[in-house]
Amino acid sequence: MTTVEPPCDFDPVPGARLERNPQAAVHARRMARTFLGGLPRQVPRETAEAVTLVVSELVTNVVRHARGRLCSVDLWDLGHGVGISVSDDDPEPPRPRRLDLTGQGGFGWPLVRRLSSELTVLSRPDGKTVRAVVSF
């Protein structure tokens, strides 16, 4: 489900500001794995893989499609899952693209939608924030 309303119950934990470059997704995946490893309970492997993939896809979408120099990534322990927030300086919301089997993409946003139990996009004049929840 995708909405344009901000979710309630997100209590931000400081994350990372990343340069919008090809290495951003690598850093975001590393951040997600470190965050998951520091949680007070064992996260199921499938959930950990889903969180890492959602973070990676959202940051990759920023690198490929958004304007601006930076993006930010924040992660939250929600008890029943992990909250993910990726912000950038481009107010255009993500939009599905035609799937391209020749390597041009179009798979990221549908994948994020499928792996997330909640997905919201908050657009502002100076950018947007995509928030996702991957539940346990």
Sign of the Cα pseudo-torsion (103, 106, 107, 109, in order): positive
Q: Which of 71, 50, 64, 57 is nearest to 25 (CA)?
A: 57
Region 6-28 average pLDDT: 70
β-pairing, 81-88 with 127-135?
A: antiparallel
Sign of the Cα pseudo-torsion (122, 101, 51, 47, in order): positive
Q: What percent of the chain has pLDDT over 90?
A: 62
Residue 67's CB is within 10 A of a number of other CB atoms, namely 12
pLDDT at position 64 over 50: yes
Residue 119's CB is within 10 A of a number of other CB atoms, namely 23
Residues forming beta bridges with residue 132, ordered by sequence position: 84, 119
Structure-block tokens of residue 136 = 């346990």
Give the distance, in angstroms, between the CA of residue 117 and the centroid of all CA atoms in the same chain: 13
Structure-block tokens of residue 110 = 């549908």
pLDDT at position 9 over 70: no
Cβ neighbours for 37, distance < 8 A, ≥ 6 positions apart: none
CA distance 7 to 47: 20
Query: Between residues 13 and 15, which one has the greater pLDDT?
Result: 15
pLDDT tens figures, 92-119: 988 777 766 666 667 789 999 999 999 9
